[in-house]
Structure 1
Amino acid sequence: MTTYDTLSPAPTLAGGLPLLGHAPWLALRPLDFVERLRDHAPVALFRIGTRSAYMVSSGELMKDLLITHQSKFEKGGPLFEQATKLLGNGLAASNGEFHLRQRRLSQPAFHHSRMGVYARAALDAAVAVSGSWRDGEVVDLGRALNDTTMDILARTLFSSLTAEAAAEIRRCLPALVAGVGRRAFIPVEFVHRLPLPVNRREAESLRRLYEVVDGIISDYRASDLDQDDLLSTLMLARDERTGAGMTTEQLHDEIRSMMVAGTETSATLLLWAFQVLAGRPDVERRVHAELDEVLGGRPVGYADLPSLAYLGRVVQELLRMYPTGWILTRRATSPVVLGGHRIPEGADVFFSPYALHRDPAVFADPGRFDPDRWLPERAAAVPRHAYLPFGAGVRKCIGESLAYAEITLILASLMGRWQMRSVTGRPPRPVAGSTLRPKESLMRVEERRR
């Protein structure tokens, strides 16, 4: 009779070093390392220092991890432990009943009836950045897109945000986003307490961000008015079971989480889009042809999204090849069985959308950017949980629909007027930190001749 204790442990990846385990490979060649773990076994054991960890790398087991046995796992591991120190206990990091309560309270802010308002903000921000460029100039596209998504956040989250507060938030966020990745890959607390310049910058950015957000919440509470924006929706939300709303601390944590999720991830994927299309003129031409046919030279609108089918597939393929959340973790809250192997209570369990989305057993020629793999007849062959750009189950990203709409509309708006060209002439190179970013950010903008 098979019992938990008689099950075999997961196969261990070779090559671990004394005391360090596989941490050097995860730190120095992270993308190669997660693919190596995927190819080793569907559930593979490795070590970070002296601590055992598990990598889950198949669509079927992702369903078990994120849905079937989700009650036996919580957000945990080095990435989330360090993220909460900078971003608080918002939806991205909270667990259990508190997470479910916060999700219920936040849901109205992402209702489909509000998508038109958010789309208008995205298009206004895209028009603003587009109008600032000049034909032939070299721009720091990464910074421009971060400013654009920050502008969208300001228009939708805080309708009465001042220019000074928006500028202060833009100054603070980069240090905090970088700090999440740095802390996750160096999970040694005393290192982050040393009086190093990078730690001082991080602490000062966090302090300033607290002050700005606290001031915004205080002003909203004092006005006692519905501003018809995300913050007002969160402040007015009441738990249907208890009638309680969010405390100031909870609002603070949710706002900081949205600041990162609503700016860094969208801006990064947009940067990937222009980097990839610069090297794929065939794909770029098809996008331009679709834009010309659907729009006929007029500005894009939210109602046009269903007609931009090819551009939608481009976005799906970008999310497959370059998922910004390239590695994520859970922690087992009780013993559990995955793939016929025992996972002990307290174990860190990793999964990598990057490795999952590039599995050659699922995606033919996985290193090729091919939007047409998402044509309905081809996409039907992809196992449901082998493609997880926004997660699955109760932890699925609450802003998925908003992100799709925002990214597609900004691409359509900017590509209607501009073409981006590589400055280096090299294919984009990924850098895996707290997000998966292209190494290069400078691009030449050229006005499109129809």
Structure 2
Amino acid sequence: MTQLSPQVSPTLLPRRPQPSRPPGPRGIPLLGNSLQFGRDELGFLTQTQRIFGDLVSYDLAGWPSVLVNRSDDIEKILVKDHQNFIKNRVIWRHVTAVFGKGLLTAEGELWQRNRRLAAPAFAGQQLQGYGPDIVALARSAAGGWKASEIRDMHAEMMALTLRIAAKAFMNSEVEQDIADMDHAVHDLTVEIASRFKRPVVIPDWVPLPGHIRYRRAIATGERIIARMIDERRAHGYHGRQDFLSRLMAAKDESEQGMSDSQLRDETLTLLLAGHETTALALSWSFYLIGQDAEVAQRLAAEIDEALGGRDATAEDLPHLKFTESVVLEAMRLYPPAWAIGRESTGPFHLGGYEFGPGTTIFISPWVLHRDPRHFEDPETFRPERWLDGLARRLPRFAYMPFGGGPRICIGQRFAMMEAILVLATIVQHFGVEWQRDRPTTLFPSITLRPRDGVWVKLLPKEAASRPH
């Protein structure tokens, strides 16, 4: 099986040992390690952890930074002392216009309040209510495909999960809205990836071509959301089942709801972050099963046995354990959130070292998920590893595709349900064979994307288990 790995950087020289700082690579004046990091983010984090250990210090153009790779230290940052660490300004300062003060970026009391207001939409019976739409839209997408076609499953999954998000979050099936949002999401992703490689912030008003597309894409999302808020205010939203309606109806302890600005931030955040996370989990799943006939055969057999040819439902999830394991393993090898950033608000101690306020902390699921201390044969796609209780045996933060602690992704249960139901529905119709002549490369932006797509040949269902 072809496994994607980051580029191997030249040997990294250690800086002169400093008792007050963890070891780390030598940088250059003014820019520190920022150029090394920007050239190959995944390779840089992987190699420095292997060379220097579970605490690695960097200098990113004057911003003191540390990679944290030990479960107890991660728990301290994300759980025990989480109030002393905020979302990292080095990362999010580039994209404040997109996410505003939504759950992804808000802090303190505002985040706590809005999290409480949003949480019921992703709980229990409310969550299962999204299942029929997920399956119907997946079935419709697969119904437009034909055996022997070559398709980019990343593009297909991005389009499908955007439709699912539009339906679940805003009850929208308007083709023009979906097309406009698809174009806007693409422009935002490309520009955000470019911004994350910059050592300095260039203001949004500077008329660079990427900035112009960025501002236009934000305006598109805002226009669609504002129209939907206005429609609900005009025609009523109480009792409606989509996320936006539930959020508009939610009230805090003082009977206050969200402002239009907050509704915009939360809805745009969910549309952008929510649909892409699931699309990537599915894209990488198809990339991996498209190279492994044995896994494909076992997957199809489980789905046939559990469903017997009928549509999947949320009630079938307990019987689709291998399907779930494929998704879990795809997110282990290719975690959508490949790095999580925090920033200290005051001094703190880790591993015998003292760090100052304003320190950037990197926690990398990409590095954690490939650690041989936790995962046997870590570079190999082995979904069956999840079937014998591995998740219960792992250290708490050895596997964290959705983050961890109080700020764990609010939509993680929705995302897992969606990914399993979509995968099961498509595998009922087709097998896939990855096209080696159209290689896939890693593209780490906010999320870990396949730069050139995931091109597969669609196989008739009865041929899905033949050797590829």
Output aligned runs, 1:150-165, within 5 Å.
150-160=162-172, 162-165=174-177
Pairing 1:418–2:425 present: no
Q: Which amino acid aligns with 2:194?
A: R
Structure 2 residue corresponding to 1:387, chosen from 379, 389, 399: 399
In 2 relative to 1, CA 365–119 (structure 1 residues): closer, same or farther, beyond 3 Å? same
In structure 2, what is the equivalent of residue 315 of structure 1?
Answer: 327
| CA-CA distance at 1:148 after TM superposition | 0.6
| CA-CA distance at 1:78 after TM superposition | 2.2
Work out which structure has the larger RCO, using CA pairs closer than 8 Å and 6 or more positions apart in sequence.
Answer: 1
In structure 1, what is the equivalent of residue 84 of structure 2?
Answer: 72
In 2 relative to 1, CA 393–405 (structure 1 residues): closer, same or farther, beyond 3 Å? same
State the Cα deviation string for residues 299-341 of structure 1 (Å, max 9, x = none): 2221111011111111111121111110121110111112221
Unaligned runs of 5+ in 1: 1-6
| CA-CA distance at 1:443 after TM superposition | 2.2
Q: Partners of 1:135 and 1:318 in 2: how far apart?
A: 24
The answer as to whether partners of 1:419 and 1:446 remain within 8 angstroms in 2 is yes
SS of 1:359 mapped into structure 2:
coil
Q: Partners of 1:431 and 1:69 in 2: how far apart?
A: 32
Unaligned runs of 5+ in 2: 1-17, 464-468
Pairing 1:119–2:131 present: yes
Q: Partners of 1:366 and 1:34 in 2: how far apart?
A: 16
Q: Which amino acid aligns with 1:66?
A: L
In structure 1, what is the equivalent of residue 459 of structure 2?
Answer: 446
Q: Which amino acid aligns with 1:130?
A: A
In structure 2, what is the equivalent of residue 140 of structure 1?
Answer: 152
| CA-CA distance at 1:429 after TM superposition | 3.3
The answer as to whether partners of 1:324 and 1:437 remain within 8 angstroms in 2 is yes
SS of 2:20 mapped into structure 1:
coil
Quick check: 78-87 or 367-376, which moved more? Answer: 78-87
Output aligned runs, 1:223-238, within 5 Å.
223-226=235-238, 227-238=240-251
Q: Partners of 2:267 and 2:74 in 1: how far apart?
A: 29
Pairing 1:271–2:283 present: yes
State the Cα deviation string for residues 152-199 of structure 1 (Å, max 9, x = none): 112111225533222222221111123223222214222754322222
Could you tell me the TM-score, scaled by structure 1's length?
A: 0.94
In 2 relative to 1, CA 61–98 (structure 1 residues): closer, same or farther, beyond 3 Å? same
In structure 2, what is the equivalent of residue 189 of structure 1?
Answer: 201
Structure 2 residue corresponding to 1:214, chosen from 203, 206, 226: 226
| CA-CA distance at 1:427 after TM superposition | 6.7
Q: Which amino acid aligns with 1:19?
A: L
The answer as to whether partners of 1:137 and 1:444 remain within 8 angstroms in 2 is yes
The answer as to whether partners of 1:83 and 1:93 remain within 8 angstroms in 2 is no
Q: Partners of 2:297 and 2:437 in 1: how far apart?
A: 19
Quick check: 270-279 or 132-141, which moved more? Answer: 132-141
Q: Partners of 1:10 and 1:381 in 2: how far apart?
A: 32
Could you tell me the TM-score, scaled by structure 2's length?
A: 0.90
SS of 2:129 mapped into structure 1:
helix
| CA-CA distance at 1:139 after TM superposition | 1.9
Structure 2 residue corresponding to 1:431, chosen from 437, 443, 448: 443
| CA-CA distance at 1:439 after TM superposition | 3.2
The answer as to whether partners of 1:79 and 1:328 remain within 8 angstroms in 2 is no
SS of 1:82 mapped into structure 2:
coil
In 2 relative to 1, CA 111–49 (structure 1 residues): closer, same or farther, beyond 3 Å? same
| CA-CA distance at 1:237 after TM superposition | 0.3
Q: Partners of 2:35 and 2:57 in 1: how far apart?
A: 16
Q: Which amino acid aligns with 1:154?
A: A
In structure 1, what is the equivalent of residue 317 of structure 2?
Answer: 305
Pairing 1:83–2:95 present: yes
The answer as to whether partners of 1:74 and 1:332 remain within 8 angstroms in 2 is yes
| CA-CA distance at 1:415 after TM superposition | 0.8
Q: Partners of 1:162 and 1:432 in 2: how far apart?
A: 31
